Amino acid sequence: MKIQNGRWVNNQGEALTTPEEHNKFQDTLVRVKSFSKDKGLTYKKIQVLFNILSTNNTMDNALTSVLSMDNKQLKRLF
Query: Residue 29 and residue 49: Cα distance in Å, rounded?
Result: 9
3-class secondary-structure state, position 60: helix
Q: What is the pLDDT of residues 41-69, one digit of tens each?
A: 787 888 888 877 777 778 778 877 888 88
Section 11-26 average pLDDT: 89
pTM: 0.57
- pLDDT over 70 for what percent of the chain? 100
- What residues contact residue 52 under an 8 Å CB cut-off, 6+ apart? none
5: region left, alpha or beta (phi > 0 left; psi from -120 to 50 alpha): left
Looking at residue 19, its pLDDT comes to 93
